[in-house]
Amino acid sequence: MYPAPPEQIRDLDRKDRKEFHMNIAAKAGKKTIRLVNGIVDTAVMVMIFLLIAVGFYAIWDSKQVYQAANAVRYEAYKPTEENEGVSFEELKSINPDVFAWLTVYGTNINYPVAQGGDNMKYVNTNAEGKYSLSGAIFMDYRCSGDFSDFSSILYGHHMEKSAMFGEIGNFADKSYFEGRRYGTLYYGGRERGVEFFAFLHTDAYDDTVFRTNVTKKETQEAYLDRLFELALHTREVSVTTEDRIVLLSTCSSASTNGRDILVGKITDKAYGDPFEANEPDDSKITLAVDALADLWTQIPDWMKIVAIATPIVLFMLLVSLIMNNKKRYKKNKLRKGDERP
């Protein structure tokens, strides 16, 4: 509605003129309120959209980290009797730091093992030598790469969804420990066995455990005594200074700077997998999912964000359109009601 011409306003008495201006001001105020409400509604919708987008991105990013840490990712490289280690040699040609393969039966621990010039490289580098938050399973740089030392230490991230060394902490449960006795280590062109005999919890700065080059017989005996002293669970396994042992270490949530460690004896005899017959035959599905995940990782980040955000924006616009139509319907209904005699 437009203001009346000046000549019409002059014909009005003072009271009518006042009411006229008040009506104009009221209508202007309503328009201002509607405008402000529209701005606030838009701002709220934008904030909701941003929060949802950030949430989706966080979920996607988390899935990417766990996908990169999935043992299935490396299955094609695993040395087997069928390929006679050819695939493993391919992985070594990609990353010469890779030198072994570790498997713990009854878990998802089934990874290549690397060794860097320090203990920091493979914290955020995967077995293919690429940057990755999940890192890789790696040997302490002070240990011999052929497991010839009396004790060798392997490290891995403690991750959820059974990735990397995420299942080491499960051995704190006595029945879990008792049900998983064996594993294998492939290195030097052949497979050896691992018989796990102790699970312990200690501090990351415990030099009595995290030590290498334990060479003297007396020191080796003292070292074994220390491991058994800290052990939460043990198994009747003959371990002497003539044996070689391996420690699988990962972070623990049980204490600040805590470490969970599974200790095994390396044997010349390679043990069969007692869990193999119970595993479901879903490898094709797993490989298909893994292939899709690899394809997704090759897409640029901005395209991923657009792909995630687009359906959210369309949904928000649809909700906004429905709400506006409802408001118009109510206004029209009220207006028709006011026009009735």
Region of poorest pLDDT, from 28-42, 154-168, 201-215, 247-261: 28-42
Residue ranges per structural domain of the chain: 1-69+300-316, 78-279
Write the CATH number of the domain with boundaries 78-279: 2.40.260.10
State residue 277's pLDDT score. Answer: 63
Read off the pLDDT band of 314 (50, 70, 90): confident
Three-state secondary structure of the chain: CCCCCHHHHHHCCHHHHHHHHHHHHHHHHHHHHHHHHHHHHHHHHHHHHHHHHHHHHHHHHHHHHHHHHCHHHHHHHCCCCCCCCHHHHHHHHHCCCEEEEEEECCCCCEEEEECCCCCCHHHCECCCCCECCCCCEEECCCCCCCCCCCEEEEECCECCCCCECCCHHHHHCHHHHHCCCEEEEEECCEEEEEEEEEEEEEECCCCCCCCCCCCCHHHHHHHHHHHHHHEEEECCCCCCCCCEEEEEEEEECCCCCEEEEEEEEEECCCCCCCCHHHCCCCHHHHHHHHHHHHHHHCCCHHHHHHHHHHHHHHHHHHHHHHHHHHHHHHHHHHHHHHHCC
Highest mean pLDDT among 11-25, 37-51, 209-223: 209-223
Region of poorest pLDDT, from 234-248, 257-271, 300-314: 300-314
- Mean pLDDT calculated for residue range 231-254: 94
Q: How far apart are CA 102 and CA 192, in angstroms?
A: 10
Q: Is the pLDDT assigned to residue 317 strictly greater than 70?
A: yes
User: What residues does 264 pair with on adjacent strands?
Assistant: 196, 246
- Mean pLDDT calculated for residue range 49-54: 59
Q: Is the pLDDT assigned to residue 284 strictly greater than 50?
A: no
Region of poorest pLDDT, from 22-36, 90-104, 184-198, 247-261: 22-36
Average pLDDT taken over every residue of the chain: 80
State residue 255's pLDDT score. Answer: 81
Read off the pLDDT band of 287 (50, 70, 90): very low
Highest mean pLDDT among 4-13, 169-178, 281-290: 169-178
| pTM of the full structure | 0.67
Read off the pLDDT band of 315 (50, 70, 90): confident
State residue 60's pLDDT score. Answer: 47
Here the contacts of 15-19 (C-beta below 8 Å, separation 24 or greater) are: none
State residue 319's pLDDT score. Answer: 77
- Mean pLDDT calculated for residue range 173-195: 95
Predicted confidence (pLDDT) per residue in 112-139, tens digit: 999 999 999 999 999 999 998 889 999 9
Q: Is the pLDDT assigned to residue 109 strictly greater than 60?
A: yes
State residue 324's pLDDT score. Answer: 73
Read off the pLDDT band of 306 (50, 70, 90): confident
